[in-house]
Amino acid sequence: MPNWLKNAVFYEIYPQTFYDSNGDGIGDIQGIESKLDYVKSLGCNAIWLNPIYDSPFMDAGYDVRNYYKVAERYGTNDDLKHLFETAHEKGIRILLDLVPGHTSDQNEWFLNSKKAEKNQYSNRYIWTDSVWEAPPQYKFICGVTDRDGNYLVNFFSSQPALNYGFNNISHPAWQLPPTHPDCQATVEALKDIMRFWLDMGCDGFRVDMADSLVKNEDGEKPETCKIWRNVREMLDREYPEAAIISEWCNPKVAIGAGFHSDFYLDHDNNGYRLLFREKDRQTGECQAIFGKNGKGDITRFLEEYTDDLKATKGKGYISFITCNHDTPRMTKMFTPLEAKIAYSFVFLMPGVPFLYYGDEIGMRFIDGLNSKEGGYSRTGTRTPMQWDDSKNHGFSDADEELLYLPVDHSADAPTVASQESDPASILNTIRKVIAIRKENEDLQSDGDFEVVYAKKNTYPFIFKRGQFLIAVNPSDKEQTAPFDFECEPVFTIGKICAAKKELTMLPQSLGLLKIK
Ligand code: NOJ
């Protein structure tokens, strides 16, 4: 386990819309480099950079054309190397985004694979053995190549699935076992890509759709796990300081497979959704635990989370996120105060937390935008960072029509500049919480988590982390709970009063208390 993860706080940067240094309307690597001090000022000591590889951008870069080359619009490989170096000088680590499950259909491997003549890459992707063969349980692209066969896609139609083999083989004519030399060659190619960027100075990878490698396997995905354990062994041997964090959302399995941390994502009916994004399907009414109408049920979240936490303790982490580039920003449903309490909670939980760019100022989800580069309903979460009140909120000098996406045009759009001087702003609140976390081991990735007060459909929720108690009352009503601690407040949002035998929390409050 890389030691630095114990006290890591990540900032996710969507390179397209973070900072445009050359006035072409799109963010770039030099822009990111010029904002490293800002990232540091938040208390973040690590960055997850969404894909920066050469790509036709049918899925915003998750369709990789060349794994070894930075996309021109972001700069050059040398710019990226420089970013790694400068970040390291400032004590910041950088994870790149690794896309192991699929490539762009313009990737050189695929261009060879689709040729009628057999070649070294024929089995790099998954092809049926004739165009008339397309079993309905798979997503195939049919009849568009010289090669007589249909190819399987992993996500959008432009993203053919790489071939790591099949666990249960139902069509032996074209489904290979994971042990087949051509499937093993895909694994080796993946490891070579990792080595290339690690040698250049990156600190590891966020791994896209990490569970999607071997096909036809359910549940615990044993063959996919074998591949990741093999990758992890390589890292432990050759790059012991490198971290891999999975997009899997099944920490028991992902950590068992060798990931250092697994993301807790916004999935149907899961604990993360219950915390921050649950709503009534018919009426749209907020039912999230952190909603001020107080309709959530903390016990449903805890059922899932404490079980996962127990199973992974000491082996790997669960990563809470404020949001990511695939998820509606919390402010889509929450007011700034609701979001402030929710974000603070994220940084007070165990595991390695992630702050999505712009959440620290309460940037909004922008409704009604045309889809950009395969964003569709995700596009409103990916708009330009709002630095100040200058042109394009300081994101870019370009004319508005050249911008990758429009900026938030509302008159009260939050900006970094407007929040800097307000001690109660979301920005300064998050800075405070992260600073306290970073100074106190009990509040960091490995610190314990113990439920003190959690009752069905009831607020507040109180938990203990070593010498600290954290009490949250996101609801807009005063709430009380039995309380038997002597403590002093370290950080609060709203008002709370810890008296003998009872804790009273005013509406929409959060308290971090130190036990005396
Ligand atoms: C998950 C990524 O986060 C998302 O943005 C992308 O579209 C898909 N995987 C496909 O790579």
Tens digits of residue pLDDT in 215-227? 999 899 999 999 9
How far from chain centre, in Å, is Cα 160? 23
Residue 173 pLDDT exceeds 90: yes
DSSP string, 408-454: P--TT---HHHHHT-TTSHHHHHHHHHHHHHH-GGGSTT---EEEE-
| Ligand 1 atom nearest 378 alpha carbon | 5
CA 85 – CA 500 distance, rounded (Å): 53
| Contact (Cβ atoms closer than 8 angstroms) between residue 63 and residue 375 | no
Mean pLDDT, the chain, whole residue set: 98
Taking only the tens place, the pLDDT of each residue in 96-124 is 999 999 999 999 999 999 999 999 999 99
Q: Nearest residue CA, atom 2 of ligand 1?
A: 208
C-beta separation of 471 from 496 below 8 A: yes
pLDDT value, residue 202: 98
Kindly give the number of the ligand 1 atom that is closest to the alpha carbon of 102: 11
Amino acid, res. 396: S
Residue 499 has pLDDT above 90, yes or no: no
Sheet strands side by side (includes 243-246): 317-319, 261-263, 243-246, 204-207, 93-98, 46-49, 10-13, 354-356
Kindly give the distance from the C-alpha atom of residue 366 to the centroid of ligand 1, in angstroms, as a whole number. 20
CATH of domain 3-101+183-441: 3.20.20.80
Encoding tokens for residue 371?
């889809």
Tokens for 334?
Answer: 């929450």
**pLDDT digit string (tens) for 377-406?**
999 999 999 999 999 999 999 999 999 999
Tokens of 131: 């165009």
Per-residue pLDDT tens over the stretch 263-276: 999 999 999 999 99
Condensed to tens digits (0 to 9), the pLDDT of residues 399-425 reads 999 999 999 999 999 999 999 999 999
Average pLDDT over residues 184-210: 98
Distance 326 CA to ligand 1 centre (A): 7
What pLDDT does 118 receive?
98
Note the pTM of the prediction, 2 decimals.
0.98
CA distance 234 to 229: 9
Residues 6+ apart with CB under 8 A from 269: none
CA 208–ligand 1 middle distance (angstroms) = 6
Per-domain boundaries in the chain: 3-101+183-441, 102-163, 449-515
Is residue 33 a contact partner of residue 86, using CB atoms and an 8 Å limit?
yes
Query: Tell me: the pLDDT tens digits for 35-82?
Result: 999 999 999 999 999 999 999 999 999 999 999 999 999 999 999 999
Tell which atom from ligand 1 comes closest to the C-alpha of 374.
7
Question: Which residue owns the Cα nearest ligand 1 atom 6?
Answer: 62
CATH fold label, 102-163:
Oligo-1,6-glucosidase; domain 2 (3.90.400)
> Which mutation among 58, 326, 371 tests ligand 1's pocket best, with the greatest number of atoms within 8 A of CB?
326
Q: Which atom of ligand 1 is nearest to the CA of 156?
A: 10
The per-residue pLDDT for range 440-481, each reduced to its tens digit, is 999 999 999 999 999 999 999 999 999 999 999 999 999 999
- How confident is the model at residue 169, as a pLDDT? 97
The proportion of the chain whose per-residue pLDDT surpasses 70, expressed as a percent, equals 100
336-356 pLDDT tens trace = 999 999 999 999 999 999 999
Between the CA of 292 and the centroid of ligand 1 the distance, in Å, is 31
Q: What is the pLDDT of residue 500?
A: 81
> Is the separation of the CB atoms in 464 and 452 below 8 Å?
yes
Q: Whose CA is nearest to atom 4 of ligand 1?
A: 326
Question: Do the first three CATH levels of 3-101+183-441 and 449-515 match, i.e. the same topology?
Answer: no
Distance 56 CA to ligand 1 centre (A): 15
Residues above pLDDT 90, as percent of the chain: 99
Place of tokens 């996919």: 224
Query: Tens digit of pLDDT for each residue in 275-284?
Result: 999 999 999 9
**How many angstroms separate the CA atoms of 330 and 371, rounded?**
20
Mean pLDDT computed over 487-495: 97
Which long-range contacts does 191-197 make (Cβ < 8 Å, 24+ apart)? 191/231, 191/234, 193/67, 193/68, 193/98, 194/98, 194/231, 194/234, 194/235, 194/242, 195/238, 195/239, 196/67, 196/68, 197/96
| Mutation test residue for ligand 1: of 12, 17, 59, the one with most atoms within 8 Å of CB | 59
CA 365 centroid distance within chain:
17
Residue whose CA lies nearest to ligand 1 atom number 5: 326
Q: How far does the centroid of ligand 1 lie from the alpha carbon of residue 191, in Å?
A: 20
Compute the distance between CA of residue 465 and CA of residue 105 in angstroms, rounded to an integer: 48
Give the containing element (helix H, strand E) for 503: strand 501-505
Distance CA 113, CA 103 (A): 12
Residue 258 CA, ligand 1 centroid: distance in Å:
21
Torsion of CA 474, 301, 328, 423, to 10 degrees: 30
- For ligand 1, residues with CB inside 6 Å are 59, 62, 99, 155, 208-209, 247, 325-326
- At the topology level of CATH, where does 449-515 sit? Immunoglobulin-like (2.60.40)
